Amino acid sequence: MKILVINGPNLNMLGVREPEIYGSLTYDDLVKFIEETAGSLGIDVDIFQSNSEGEIIDKIQGVDAIDGILINAGGYTHTSVAIRDALLTISLPVVEVHLSNIFSREDFRRHSFISDIAVGVITGFGEEGYRMGLIALKKIVGKK
Amino acid sequence: MKILVINGPNLNMLGVREPEIYGSLTYDDLVKFIEETAGSLGIDVDIFQSNSEGEIIDKIQGVDAIDGILINAGGYTHTSVAIRDALLTISLPVVEVHLSNIFSREDFRRHSFISDIAVGVITGFGEEGYRMGLIALKKIVGKK
Amino acid sequence: MKILVINGPNLNMLGVREPEIYGSLTYDDLVKFIEETAGSLGIDVDIFQSNSEGEIIDKIQGVDAIDGILINAGGYTHTSVAIRDALLTISLPVVEVHLSNIFSREDFRRHSFISDIAVGVITGFGEEGYRMGLIALKKIVGKK
Amino acid sequence: MKILVINGPNLNMLGVREPEIYGSLTYDDLVKFIEETAGSLGIDVDIFQSNSEGEIIDKIQGVDAIDGILINAGGYTHTSVAIRDALLTISLPVVEVHLSNIFSREDFRRHSFISDIAVGVITGFGEEGYRMGLIALKKIVGKK
Amino acid sequence: MKILVINGPNLNMLGVREPEIYGSLTYDDLVKFIEETAGSLGIDVDIFQSNSEGEIIDKIQGVDAIDGILINAGGYTHTSVAIRDALLTISLPVVEVHLSNIFSREDFRRHSFISDIAVGVITGFGEEGYRMGLIALKKIVGKK
Amino acid sequence: MKILVINGPNLNMLGVREPEIYGSLTYDDLVKFIEETAGSLGIDVDIFQSNSEGEIIDKIQGVDAIDGILINAGGYTHTSVAIRDALLTISLPVVEVHLSNIFSREDFRRHSFISDIAVGVITGFGEEGYRMGLIALKKIVGKK
Amino acid sequence: MKILVINGPNLNMLGVREPEIYGSLTYDDLVKFIEETAGSLGIDVDIFQSNSEGEIIDKIQGVDAIDGILINAGGYTHTSVAIRDALLTISLPVVEVHLSNIFSREDFRRHSFISDIAVGVITGFGEEGYRMGLIALKKIVGKK
Amino acid sequence: MKILVINGPNLNMLGVREPEIYGSLTYDDLVKFIEETAGSLGIDVDIFQSNSEGEIIDKIQGVDAIDGILINAGGYTHTSVAIRDALLTISLPVVEVHLSNIFSREDFRRHSFISDIAVGVITGFGEEGYRMGLIALKKIVGKK
Amino acid sequence: MKILVINGPNLNMLGVREPEIYGSLTYDDLVKFIEETAGSLGIDVDIFQSNSEGEIIDKIQGVDAIDGILINAGGYTHTSVAIRDALLTISLPVVEVHLSNIFSREDFRRHSFISDIAVGVITGFGEEGYRMGLIALKKIVGKK
Amino acid sequence: MKILVINGPNLNMLGVREPEIYGSLTYDDLVKFIEETAGSLGIDVDIFQSNSEGEIIDKIQGVDAIDGILINAGGYTHTSVAIRDALLTISLPVVEVHLSNIFSREDFRRHSFISDIAVGVITGFGEEGYRMGLIALKKIVGKK
Amino acid sequence: MKILVINGPNLNMLGVREPEIYGSLTYDDLVKFIEETAGSLGIDVDIFQSNSEGEIIDKIQGVDAIDGILINAGGYTHTSVAIRDALLTISLPVVEVHLSNIFSREDFRRHSFISDIAVGVITGFGEEGYRMGLIALKKIVGKK
Amino acid sequence: MKILVINGPNLNMLGVREPEIYGSLTYDDLVKFIEETAGSLGIDVDIFQSNSEGEIIDKIQGVDAIDGILINAGGYTHTSVAIRDALLTISLPVVEVHLSNIFSREDFRRHSFISDIAVGVITGFGEEGYRMGLIALKKIVGKK
């Protein structure tokens, strides 16, 4: 089983950005956490980060031998119809994850263009959300 | 560690209601699943279900020696300021969970009076969401 | 054929409340009217009134050997997702009825959480609306 | 007692249009149903259908020796201030009826320019709604 | 100088309709008032009334040797883009008039599809508004 | 018969301001026009102009032996609840007038806090609107 | 003179909940304060608290030999049409009170379903608001 | 293959109306253009124009041996639920066309009651849009 | 202890204005009532009334040896950001009072620019509201 | 004559994505169709596809010896002010095309940032829309 | 070159008001800063402050031998159509300035009635914004 | 002191695009102007332009030894949460600048995702705005 993990804009700045919201975890820490968690779950992961909406779409379109997608689209969550459309072009289960609780921040973060086409959404649990997303995808893929 | 699990209105009808949305899991199955999952995580659970907004508030107010709350407020999620206020009266971490993906259903389910005061939200993963919520609460409580 | 008739909050105060809107009919008069009308139509009725959202949900969930529901949810019509969900959990035809014409009162009474999941709606005809609802349900149940 | 029954645009196409919504009843069937029902209720009916907003207004203005109006204004329900005004010019009780449940269709069908000036509204019961409307008008006219 | 006076739906019912709003003036009284007023101002008038949106458009399109239009579009004021478009097709000054004060009635009467393309609007002065409109048109046409 | 004519902010700048909208008429011209028109109608006028919301309120409150008010509240039309309230404190007929057609300008000019409490509104006819307003007030006062 | 004092959901948790908003006053303190204040004003009070919307409605319906109601409906203030309706069923003066200033909190607290049917509203003065409400009710009842 | 071409209100005034928007093409020119274009495409056309909403509905209902409809509903595009309903009553492909670009005009022209039930929409290309519509309908009908 | 009492536009017209809303109390009566009430509470009052937004701001800015402000800003309540800002410039407790219940009048009176920066709001109790406001301010100032 | 054809995000996935909406046409099929159609119309085409908003802007800015643009901006249609601005920077006619009917899909697809600055819009006709767009551009460019 | 500098309500309270937003600069400091800055730029300044909307309008109308206006309308920025109109009556370049960043404060401060008729807007730079505005006006006036 | 100057999409087309809005200044002119201005202020500048949202984010993230950012995000101003988030990840003062006055253009340009997190905003002064922004940043950085 192989999962594509997509991290959108500014997630590479983790540990730098707004520590009172995201804590001191760095992006390298997050990558290591995802890899180790996936390993312990028996899941292969392809972890991808980009600040570019177009590159994220390219990556989604290029999936090969992938069983599901775990996506934290960052700021594009709230503005990108194009990423939504890319996720619709491939017939794979999608899980949306956010490190912080997007519902307790600015109003414009309450709307996601991904949520209604995802299997489910996990928000507010920091890196732990990625573990939860991988567990969920494992179950979902396993059921098919 | 002890977690109060609150299931709101109509969750007792699981397995009866809209199987194309919630699957064939019955409420008894769900309770058993939560108990077993909690057991394997070393968590004590107090599982409570009610169709009454007032009883849910009473239950929240009556917490005793509880470390956190996992709540699926069902239809009250979208309409109850009073349950929100009850959760605010106690200083415990709250995790919001929904069996189905509330973002892919009617528009009025997109708003929750609980989300912005919860630590985080898990939606769309069926009973698996409860496991994810218990794991998350264990981490959160453990950090304190 | 057996029909559950649900009367929501404050309907027990009929004859007391705003007589210029509802007339002098008392709740006992209404119950008698429904029973006699049902009798003459060859329908068994179970008439239930409660001021509690939770109790109305409990009653709906507890239906047994019932062929349809005639509901006047009173003030909960406009605010209760949970009653809507309860009606969705059971696979029975629902008819919504209101004594007064909810469209000629305050703006917030123009929206009902029940209308779009009911077979139909009858509003503005006083107790006569219950007779109309029973006749409609008889036809609907008969067609099945 | 004489009732004017007004059927608005496209009702003459019944049986042709969207059978999954309106069933196989034709307009001739509907007319016959109304006439027979009225007959059995001891009511004289003048049944009028037009696709023209202006003709419907002309008809309403021309009422003579009429005791009440049963109106299904079809698409004009949601857009015609002029028909509303016509109904206001005559001092007769008006009952609004719809074959399908307008609350479970497109959002723009949720608003009616007639509902708040009618005695009451009946929606979702097919031709049976006309019977219910005639019975209601008989009671209302009788009370005067 | 010749002015086309257009009276929209239900104005022919004046004296019948809502006397507390429009007074006891009948449509014949209004026509006579307009004719006499126009006469005293040295204006020829072509007074037209119809309940049909299409006929009003036909009339506007058919103007011949007309110097301006005084229009009370009744209920179509608030709903007709087509009458607006008809007024735009001819290069004549338009004055909008209403018998009652549309700003002190239902909210939906606050918007007119004609006001912003008219030279001006007169509302609330009963038949006197027609006199004011004729005087205004005389000035406007005179200035050209 | 005596009428108070109130001209709000910036009307004293007539002839200076936006000539493409208001023409070359100066405020002195307007005053002379109103006085002469009033004279020919046998009406006494008290013409008042102020840029101050408070002074306009003071003036309205101070009316003495006045039979009606003709008001062009300028920019305060769209923002002043206090002037509305002042007009409500005195039991005199009010006519609202605007030189330009407020409906064909910025959107925020479409709403007036005076319109619904006035007898009527005249907009778009330049100084001629004042004549129309005086004629209207003469009729209205005469009827009392 | 006897006043029914209704305290809605979560008010029993006073002193526990959000002390930065409500201070350290406990519910028992509040009850004592109301009783003593009422005593000194020569008013009999029946103080009722419930977390249940239905029980609050039951209590309102059951008033007997009561001269007025002082209500702090807590979270139900913003969501309950049913409590509004219950207050309408009885012909007694109602005063709405809130401990905190609901206008300086979340936006959804700005709307109350009770305010427009109450005699008046007192918000933001802590327990002192109850004293003010009792004084006001004494005057209002005394005037009848 | 036979196509019904419907031209709504004011299209008969082409060449007269707002030449800066629609150019100097007259309605006769448009009819000739459609006939010649249809001829060259091997399509029979029935070209219909009316200013009356009701007549347009009558025409749609009366289709006989027609394979598709090309409709420019003019001002009714934005206001007519009844024409929408008429198009729904017949099972034929519909193409919506507009001479001008409705998206670069007044805001209220941005919404069409026809677009979402049409196969497609063509706007902004003058008479050329009709050719495009006929070509499109030829393809669509040919595929069936 | 000294309190500045500010009465906004039109309050000087009390007893004249809309007696069905405000009763027969005159402004002089109100001033006397406030003075006597303050006297009995041991509070010095500076009572100020103005119809001018600017003068009210000047007065607020000029406070000297004042312990709190009781303000009924009349119509400016709903429109004045500048008065709000003036109240923010001084570090004194503010209580907002209204004679009538602003929540049961026009919709635009439901919003106040003062409420969220005041300690609390009292509305609907006539002159009694001033007494309540003075009592409240005495407590608030006393606590400091 | 040379036309730049821009295909936005995910159009390269045609034939893969949602075949029930877009059919089985692949992107290579679409390119071939455009090239052949253009050839038969005597038009040179430069066909460009990108998933990147920035690259689309770069391409638009880089036009050289181009007579017009045919653009299907995909998901960027609804979100990109920057592409709109790029189209504004060059003085060339723009035609907007969509394969599916964007008006019968999600609500957020009803708004386009391109429509009001394009000559016209073609939506819902699959690849045929590109032919229609090329024909239209040929006419438009020819007229210049 | 002479510039009129207008400071609206409460700016005279600078140094007193909300120091965490505006800093410790007093109004005298601001005046001195503007004078010195203007002096060093070779600009004559007429600095005016008022809390009265009417006086600000009077001042704008009275401009004489002025080349431009730098305005900080304070709270009137968001509510005054009348000041907007006054600025429109004179044909001078206007620059809008704010000490604090109005976009990071309450939502109602996001809208200005001046911005769209000004040459430009400067917000958030404290007294430095006035220097920037003077420099900008010097350039703008110099270009004429 | 070193400032990063970011110019977003289409700014490289200056002098080409809409000269009636932006004037004849080319992008090279703008760069030279910024460099010279910065030089004269003793500021080092790193001037960056890109049409790509992702590249702008990359650039912001890569700041090194930079004291502040002057950003004209062009069309991304109104749509990019991701650029906002990038600016939040670095702890540097940000000044937002626009060449044209965004408040006097299309409505959607009135909202910026950057304004509320910037120190301040400068809009409408052409290249002069950049000078003003550099001066402001020099002051802001100097104060730290």
Residues of A in contact with L81 (CB under 8 A): 75-79, 108-109
Asked if J79 is an interface residue toward chain A (Cβ–Cβ < 8 A), one would say yes
Share above pLDDT 90 across residues of chain C, in percent, rounded to a whole number: 86
Please enumerate in sequence order all residues whose Cβ is within 8 A of that of H45, keeping only pairs 6 or more positions apart, or say none.
H2, H3, H4, H5, H34, H35, H38, H134
Cβ separation of J10 and A57 shorter than 8 Å? Answer: yes
CB atoms within 10 A of CB D65: 7
- Residue D16's pLDDT is what? 76
C95-141 residue pLDDT tens: 999 999 999 999 999 999 999 999 999 999 999 999 999 999 999 99
Can you tell me the distance from the alpha carbon of D61 to that of D55, in angstroms, rounded to the nearest whole number?
Answer: 10
CB-closest option in L16, L18, L76 to J82? L76
Degrees (nearest 5) of the Cα angle G41, G43, G45?
Answer: 130
pLDDT digits (tens, 9 = 90+) for E132-143: 999 999 999 988
- Give how far A112 is from chain J: nearest CA, Å: 12
Contact B3, B137 (CB under 8 A): yes
CB of I124 within 8 Å of any CB in chain G?
yes
Residue K7 near chain I (CB below 8 Å): no
**Chain K residues within 8 A of F13 when measuring between CB atoms:** 61, 86, 89
Give first-to-last CA distance, chain J, whole Å. Answer: 12
* Residue in G with minimal Cα distance to I138: G128
- Report the distance separating Cα E114 and Cα E109, nearest Å: 12
Say whether residue H123 is in contact with chain E using an 8 A CB cutoff.
no
What percentage of chain I's residues is helix, strand, coil (to nearest 5)? 50, 20, 35
CA separation for the pair E41, E63 (Å, rounded): 21
Q: Is A79 on the interface with L (CB under 8 A)?
A: yes
Q: Does C84 contact B at CB distance below 8 Å?
A: yes
Q: Is the pLDDT of residue D42 over 70?
A: yes
pLDDT digit of tens for each residue in chain F (144 aa)?
999 999 999 999 998 766 776 678 899 999 999 999 999 999 999 999 999 999 999 999 999 899 999 999 999 999 999 999 999 998 899 999 999 999 999 999 999 999 999 999 999 999 999 999 999 999 999 887
**Cβ–Cβ gap J119/H103 under 8 Å:** no
| Distance from C-alpha of E87 to C-alpha of E75, rounded to nearest angstrom | 16
Q: C58 at the G interface (CB within 8 A)?
A: no
Distances (CA, A) of E32 to E27, E29, E45, E49, E130: 9, 5, 11, 14, 12
- CB count within 10 Å of CB I40 equals 10
Quick: pLDDT tens for C88-102: 998 899 999 999 999
**Mean pLDDT computed over every residue of chain D:** 94
Give yes or no for a contact between F46 and F79, defined as CB atoms under 8 angstroms apart: no
Q: Which residues of G fall within a CB distance of 8 Å from B82? A: 8-10, 51, 53, 74-76, 79
User: In b/e form, how buried is each residue of G30-44, taking b as 16+ CB within 10 angstroms?
Assistant: bbebbeebbeeeebe
Distance CA L36, CA L29 (A): 10
Contacts of I120 in chain G (CB under 8 A): 101, 122-125, 129
Look at K108 and I55 and tell me if their CB atoms are within 8 Å: no
- Chain F residues inside the 8 Å CB shell of E110: 111
* Partner-chain residue, chosen from F13, F18, F53, that has the shortest CB–CB distance to K53: F53
- Give the position of tokens 């429009």: E22
DSSP chain E: -EEEEEE-TTGGGTTTS-HHHH-S--HHHHHHHHHHHHHHHT-EEEEEE-S-HHHHHHHHHT--S--EEEEE-GGGGGT-HHHHHHHHHS---EEEEESS-GGGS-GGGG--SSGGGSSEEEESSTTHHHHHHHHHHHHHHHH-
Q: Kindly state whether I111 is in contact with chain K, defined as any CB-CB distance less than 8 angstroms.
A: no
Low-confidence ranges of chain A (pLDDT < 70): 17-18, 21-22
Q: What is the pLDDT of residue A23?
A: 73
User: Which ranges of chain H have pLDDT less than 70?
Assistant: 17-18, 21-22
In the three-class reduction of DSSP (H, G, I as helix; E, B as strand; rest coil), residue G34 is classed as helix
Between CA B53 and CA B58, with CA B56 as vertex, the angle to 5 degrees is 110
- pLDDT of residue K57 exceeding 80: yes
pLDDT tens, residue by residue, I82-133: 999 999 998 899 999 999 999 999 999 999 999 999 999 999 999 999 999 9
Distances (CA, A) of H135 to H1, H5, H40, J25: 12, 13, 11, 19
* Gap between the Cα atoms of I100 and I123, Å rounded: 6
Domains and CATH numbers, chain D: 2-142 (3.40.50.9100)
For residues G72-96, average pLDDT: 96
- Of the candidates J52, J53, J88, the beta carbon closest to that of L17 is on J88
Contact A130, A33 (CB under 8 A): yes
User: Looking at this predicted complex, what is its ipTM?
Assistant: 0.94
Structure tokens at K66: 């002025």
Closest by CA position to A79, among listed C59, H67, E49, J53: J53
CB proximity list for D142: less than 8 A, separation 6 or greater: D1
Q: Determine contact: B98 vs chain C, CB below 8 A.
A: no
Segment (H or E) for I120: strand I120-123
Which burial class, exposed, middle or buried, applies to D60 when counting CB atoms under 10 A from its CB (0-12, 13-18, 19+)?
buried
Please tell me the predicted confidence (pLDDT) of residue J136: 95
pLDDT confidence tier of residue I16, bands split at 50, 70 and 90 = confident
Q: For residue C58, which residues of chain B lie inside 8 Å, CB to CB?
A: 51
* C141 in contact with D, Cβ within 8 Å: no
Return d(Cα K138, Cα K119) in angstroms, integer.
Answer: 12
Determine whether the interchain pair C8/G61 forms a contact, defined as Cβ–Cβ distance below 8 Å: no
> In this structure, what token pair is assigned to residue L72?
């004209």
Identify all chain L residues contacting K122, using CB atoms and an 8 Å cutoff.
120-122, 132
Q: Per-residue pLDDT tens for E118-136? A: 999 999 999 999 999 999 9
Q: Pairing between strand L120-123 and L94-98?
A: parallel
Q: Is H78 a catalytic residue?
A: no
Distance CA E58, CA B33 (A): 72
Interface test with G, best of B60, B77, B81 (most G CBs within 10 A): B81
Q: Give the pLDDT score at C15.
A: 83
Question: Which residues are within 8 A (CB) of D128 and not within 5 positions of it... i.e. 6 or more apart?
Answer: C135, C136, C139
Chain H residues with CB-CB distance to E113 below 8 A: 108
C51 token code pair: 């001021």
Mean pLDDT to the nearest integer, C3-10: 98
Burial of I20 (0-12, 13-18, 19+ CB in 10 A): exposed
G76 catalytically annotated = no
Q: In the J/L pair of chains, how many CB contacts fall below 8 A?
A: 62
**pLDDT score of C17 more than 80:** no
Pinpoint the alpha helices (H) of H2-127.
19-22, 27-41, 53-61, 81-89
- The tens digit of pLDDT for each residue in G33-70 reads 999 999 999 999 999 999 999 999 999 999 989 999 99
Q: Is J62 exposed, middle or buried (0-12, 13-18, 19+ CB in 10 A)?
A: exposed
The answer to whether the beta carbons of residues L6 and L60 sit under 8 Å apart is yes
To the nearest whole Å, the CA of F69 is away from the closest chain K CA by 21
Residue H113 is given by DSSP the state: S
B69-121 pLDDT, tens digit each? 999 999 999 999 999 999 999 889 999 999 999 999 999 999 999 999 999 99
Chains in contact with E, where contact means 3 or more Cβ–Cβ distances below 8 Å, are D, F, H
Q: Which of J115, J125, J136 lies nearest to residue H128, judging by beta carbons?
A: J136
E79 and chain H in contact, CB less than 8 A: yes
J103 touching A, CB under 8 A? Answer: no
Chain L contacts of J113, Cβ < 8 Å?
Answer: 108
> Does residue L74 sit at the J interface (CB-CB below 8 Å)?
yes
Q: Name chain D's partners: 3 or more CB pairs within 8 A.
A: C, E, H
Average confidence score pLDDT of chain L:
94
For J14-41, letters b (16+ CB in 10 Å) and e give bbbbeeeebeeeebeebbebbeebbeee
Q: Which of F55, F80, F88 sits opposite I18 (nearest CB)?
A: F88
* Annotated catalytic residue within H76, H78, H98, H130: H98
**Cβ–Cβ under 8 Å, residues H97 and H133:** yes
Q: What is the pLDDT of residue D22?
A: 65
Secondary structure (DSSP) of F96-140: EEESS-GGGS-GGGG--SSGGGSSEEEESSTTHHHHHHHHHHHHH
Tens of pLDDT along B12-52?
A: 999 876 677 667 889 999 999 999 999 999 999 999 999 99
Question: What is the CB neighbour count within 10 angstroms for residue C110?
Answer: 16
Point out the catalytic residue in the list D22, D27, D76, D130: D22
